[in-house]
Structure 1
Amino acid sequence: MNDISLADRSDENQSISQQLGAFAQALTWADIPEEAREYAKHLILDGIGIAFASSRYDFAQVTLEALLRFGGGSSVAIGFANRLSIRDAVLLNGVLIHGIDYDDTHLVSVVHPTSSCLPTALLAADLDLSGRDLLLAYILGIEVAARIGAVAKGELNQSGFHPTGLVAAFGTAVAAGKLYGLDADQMTNAQGIVLSMASGTREYSSEGAWTKRLHPGWAGVSGITSASLAKSGFVAPTRAYEGKFGLYATHLGAKMAAVDLSYATSALGKRWEVTQVAVKPYPSGQFGISCIDAALVLRARHEIDPAEIESVEVAIPPHAVAIMLEPLEKRRRPHSSYSAQFSIPFLVSAALSYGRLSPAELELYEKPELLQLADRVDYRVDHETDYPRHFPCRMTIVLKSGQRLVHDEAINRGSADRPVLPAEIDKKYYDNMAAIVPRSRADEIRDAVMRLDGGGSAKDLAEKLSGE
């Protein structure tokens, strides 16, 4: 760590964009603690495994086909032999990492960081930079995206926006800017430019549509485009966040009064947001994870026969209702494996019935026995949780005998207070890779990820990610 802290290099009289720009420009590899570096590599490994697993799904093939209409390029598309232009590769790789909703989440900001920041950081391979440069840009992108999202205290989600599409774009702009070698003023401009590109609404949840899958990659495309424009001298507003028509005023309206602008720049270089990113243990919307774990605990503890269940109640934060519970009758009848991931009634039913929740169980979304049990899953809103720090669930099961079984998952698995361990991340990675590539190739990719900070070229990893 340098003698002068990174926080000391910013001027509190400057705008948030200017302070983050100065921080980003000054950041060096030596400034990042070992804990953050090591955890970042495991997050990258997790994202790569998910991308390979996604490559066999229809949405991946459709996206690739659409992008190939624009012509090819030299950038790697994870799991595919096809090469794309830089921006099209970023879009596709974002779709792949986020497509089955198994990717990580920075809980306080409600942002999926790896699915936007890793595709962007792979720009390092196109620029013939080092693996260390890739890792530095990835960590920096998460730092900015998480801070900008956390300022809103979950209200972007409640206002109908998908935070990943919005705030991750600012992280990717800074990450790409780092790889392009932008100075502090150019970093500020990159953030101002991406303000006019960042987008993503939650209308997908009304129909179980595919558009959510586009948001992380589109954030990456927006970020790289903005950084390139800034490098060429394009001028943008300096108050992208707190300005009269900045991010928060335009997207939160009256809720703007609830935001904590100080979070965006507090303890820069001292508090590392990458260490707060939660790895998902299940392919579920984030609110479903504690519900799944509660169901699994009660099933194992009491040897529950699903046929003997009279009712199930989950007590959850109010923010979960629109995302995974209402309209309730519709959530109880998911029409695809994807919509099943955002149905707490179905997820609880599957966990109670099978004692696990993997992608295989999601494919059983039409099974009558599961739907009958899902009909007995209801909810109540718990206004006393510490969301978004945690995504808790208190489950009450009433058996037909009248017995009441209760379990409280106050801290969701995967959160910083209850992390998924490196060995568990490794297992998840190999499970995701198993149906796609031989174990020997999965080993090679893992080794390349773990050597990112060893001084080699970013291409060493990128080329291993290409399909055969």
Structure 2
Amino acid sequence: MTIARTLADFASGPVNADARMQRFVTLSLFDWASVGLAGTGEPVARAARGMALGGDAMRGATLLGGGRAQAAQAALVNGATSHALDYDDTHFGHIGHPSVAVIPAALAIAETEGEVADPRVALAVGLEVACRVGGWLGRSHYEAGFHQTGTSGAFGATAAAGRMLRLDPERMAQALCLTATRAAGLKSQFGTMGKPLNAGFAAEVGATSALLARAGATSAPDAIEGAQGFGPTHAGSADASALDGLGRSWIFPNISYKFHACCHGLHAMLEALREIRDKGLNAAEIESVTVRTHPRWLAVCNQPEPTTGLQAKFSYRLTAAMMLAGVDTAALDSYSDAICARADLRALRDRVRVETDEGLSDSAAEVSVIASGRTHEARHDILAPVDPALIERRLRDKSATLLGEAGAEALWRAVARIDEAEGLARLMARLGARTARSAARDG
């Protein structure tokens, strides 16, 4: 059986999403919506929305921040917008951001098609497929320069959109094979608008491939694993074990959420320092700080003396100082040129030393803080199991920081009721509302 058919049988067949999976789907939908609404004023979001609003929306789908467009264009806009802040969830099993590719495609199809499958189950299917395909492609695919959000994410987007359309296994397989010839995304786009657009393109491919398959379009049945298929031509590792237990167990709930508005490579350190700070440590008494991390992060987020807000998001030393000094690292506005110039933070930053340890996983960090002659140590792994109730509380705090208390609470209620009659319509109405950030940026 081909990989496409294996995935299609899962995506189109009976699905038993256990309570844990359903809860994490809800959490990711809420987090996605929060960061998407917060990102509507970003330049890439405005550019994508302007492109989509230039045509005839027909039976349009809602755009984050306002307006409507055809389903595929709406998926593109909302995928790019929700990844514009780079504040969305990450699955470290394959180093990809599944929600920003899958959710926009699924919601765009659901809104424009009317009679669709259960939304939460469709999202569960798509998010799981993205992670499974990401694992099948493996680290070799990522290290070769491909952005898994754009590649494996496209397959997940197709599965979710196809489920919404109630595609049978044959047409679902065709949709996934069509995706194989369009899925794309390069890490060379990191640091540019191309990175969030990778998410948008993946969502658009998902919606388009599912609609084409429903209309009767066909493709090579081995387009994923064949000799000239997606995997072999994109440095995939073809790890068959990545598909083990598909339909019986769920790997998506191993997802990691961002609670700090900076590079995910900094989060383990920040959580460890947060533990020390919350014990009542006085920043003025700190003599030195040592951070130990996996060496892979030094090329990503070790800006030693940042001078701009963007550079601050990729600086071990400055974000460590921010955390210890009580700066809100969850707030977007905390990362500014002014924060880089603050004398107290610069002084504390210069007392931070970053060391590497290959014995640490790339999701873990160890910190040691010496203050008033006493040593305080902590370790954190962002993949360590966490009570979902605690994750929910922190995501709701994060959303409140981004959208305000009232906006976050209203959004949570809308997400929680997505399976109710008119639930999807209520959620989309909230996502289409113009935010203060989008209004300010659009002038």
Normalised by the shorter chain, which TM-score bucket?
0.7 to 0.9
Aligned partner of 2:205 in structure 1 is 222
- 1:59: Cα distance to partner? 3.5
Instruction: Return the offset for 1:404.
Output: 5.1
Tell me the distance in 2 between the aligned counterparts of 1:247 and 1:200: 13
Structure 2 distance, partners of 1:366, 1:71, is 45
- Segments of 5+ residues of structure 1 without an aligned counterpart are 1-13
Deviation at 1:304, TM superposition (A): 4.3
Correspondence 1:391-406 to 2 at 5 A:
391-397=363-369, 405-406=376-377
2:413 corresponds, among 447, 451, 459, to 447
Contact 2:307 2:341 in 1 (8 A): no
Q: CA deviation at 1:444?
A: 4.2
Q: 1:175 to 1:418 in 2, by over 3 A?
A: same
SS in structure 2 opposite 1:319?
A: helix
Q: Distance in 2 between matches of 1:35 and 1:235?
A: 36
Residue identity (%): 24
What CA deviation, in whole Å up to 9, does each residue of 1:169-226 have, x standing for no partner? 0101111111222221222222221122212222234xx3222111222110011111
Q: Which residue identity lines up with residue 463 of structure 1 in the other structure? A: A
Q: 1:397 to 1:214 in 2, by over 3 A?
A: same
**Contact 1:278–1:416 (Cα < 8 Å) also in 2:** no
**1:466 is the counterpart of 2:432:** yes
Q: In structure 1, the residue corresponding to 2:264 is in which secondary structure?
A: coil
CA RMSD of aligned residues (A): 2.7
Residues 164-175 of structure 1: pairs in structure 2 closer than 5 A: 164-175=149-160
Give distance in 1, aligned partners of 2:287 and 2:232.
48
Q: Judging changes above 3 Å, is the alpha-carbon distance between structure 1 residues 342 and 158 closer, same or farther for their aligned structure 2 residues?
A: farther
Structure 1: how far apart are the matches of 2:293 and 2:155?
A: 30
CA distance, structure 2, for counterparts of residue 43 and residue 224 of structure 1: 20
CA contact (8 A) 2:63 2:77 kept: yes
Give the whole-Å Cα distance in 2 for the aligned partners of 1:374 and 1:153: 36
Where do residues 21-170 of structure 1 align in structure 2 (5 Å cutoff)? 21-28=8-15, 31-73=16-58, 74-80=60-66, 82-122=67-107, 123-129=109-115, 133-170=118-155
CA distance in 1, matches of 2:216, 2:414: 36
Distance apart, 1:113 and its partner CA? 1.7
Match of 2:320 among 348, 354, 368: 348
Paired position in structure 2 for 1:384: 359
What amino acid is the match of 2:415? V
Given candidates 293, 297, 315, the residue that maps to 1:316 is 293
1:333–1:371: 8 Å Cα contact kept in structure 2? no
Instruction: Tell me the equivalent position of 1:305.
Output: 283
What SS does the aligned partner of 1:396 have? strand
* 1:416, distance to aligned residue in structure 2 (A): 4.0
- In the other structure, the counterpart of 1:367 is 341
* Counterparts of 2:52 and 2:313, CA distance in 1: 27
Which among 232, 257, 261 is matched to residue 215 of structure 2?
232
| Partner SS for 1:38 | helix
Asked whether the equivalents of residues 157 and 163 of structure 1 are also in contact (C-alpha less than 8 Å), the reply is: yes
Map residues 196-207 of structure 1 onto 2, 5 A cutoff: 196-205=181-190
3-state secondary structure, aligned to 2:93? coil
Equivalent position to 2:257, from 279, 300, 303:
279
User: Aligned residue pairs: how many?
Assistant: 428
Alpha-carbon distance in structure 2 between the residues aligned to 1:457 and 1:25: 23
Q: Tell which deviates more after alignment, 266-275 or 165-174.
A: 266-275
396 and 158 in structure 1: CA distance in 2 versus 1, 3 angstrom threshold: farther
- Letter paired with 2:377: V
Distance 1:461 1:117 in 2: 16
Runs of 4+ with deviation above 6 angstroms? none
Cα distance, 1:335–1:201 mapped onto 2, change above 3 Å: farther
Q: 1:160-199, aligned counterparts within 5 Å?
A: 160-199=145-184
1:295-336 per-position Cα deviation (integer Å, ceiling 9, x unaligned): 2233344724358444x44222243233323xx45xx32534
For structure 1, which segment, 240-249 or 208-217, has the greater mean C-alpha deviation from structure 2 after superposition? 240-249
1:119 CA displacement: 0.7
TM-score by length of 2: 0.87
- SS for the counterpart of 2:325 is helix
Q: Could you say if the C-alpha distance between residues 109 and 455 of structure 1 is closer, same or farther in structure 2, counting changes exceeding 3 Å?
A: farther
